[in-house]
């Protein structure tokens, strides 16, 4: 059986996709795109030098573009204060009194929780919003009036 150049490119692309599935790095998919470009040029009948050059350009360009996109993407909040990861963030609790060390015990979801006041917030009784959950302690900030 005689394999054409495009078959080798498709085989390389498939192996890179399989390696990406095993490793979890998205960059291997960008290099696989370069192999796909090489396969398409092989179908078009271009020489090996052109196939290698375009495969390298597409693979490196896609990798660089993905790296740039990731570097400039907005960062998500830490998991302890990220509403997408922790549904307690943003919920309201009522604080009866604050201790001198800016901690309190609050009733939340049917049990008592230890809470501490967020930095810069005034220690006053009343409704507070959960801004973070660190272990089994709630970080609270005064609820906006309104």
pLDDT band at 102 (very low <50, low <70, confident <90, very high): very high
What is the average pLDDT across 38-60?
A: 94
Check pLDDT > 80 for residue 2: no
Phi, psi of 104, rounded to the nearest 5 degrees: -155, 165
Alpha-carbon span 49 to 123, nearest angstrom: 71
Structural domains of the chain sorted by starting position, each given as residue range(s) with its CATH number in brackets: 5-72 (no CATH), 79-142 (2.40.50.140)
The three-state secondary structure class of 111 is strand
Q: Model's pTM, two decimal places?
A: 0.56
Alpha-carbon span 18 to 29, nearest angstrom: 9
Contact 93, 100 (CB under 8 A): no
């Amino acid at each position: 059986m005689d394999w054409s150049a495009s078959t080798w490119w498709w085989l390389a692309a498939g192996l890179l996709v399989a390696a990406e599935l095993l490793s979890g790095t998205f960059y291997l998919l960008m290099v696989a795109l370069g192999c796909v470009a090489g396969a398409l040029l092989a179908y078009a009948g271009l020489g090996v030098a052109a196939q290698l050059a375009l495969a390298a350009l597409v693979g490196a360009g896609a990798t660089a573009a993905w790296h740039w996109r990731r570097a400039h993407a907005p960062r998500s909040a830490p998991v302890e204060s990220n509403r997408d990861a922790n549904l307690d963030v943003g919920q309201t609790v009522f604080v009866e009194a604050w201790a001198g060390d800016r901690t309190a015990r609050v009733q939340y979801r049917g049990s008592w929780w230890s809470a501490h006041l967020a930095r810069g917030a005034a220690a006053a009784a009343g409704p507070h919003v959960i801004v973070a959950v660190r272990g089994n302690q709630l970080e609270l900030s005064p609820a906006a009036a309104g």
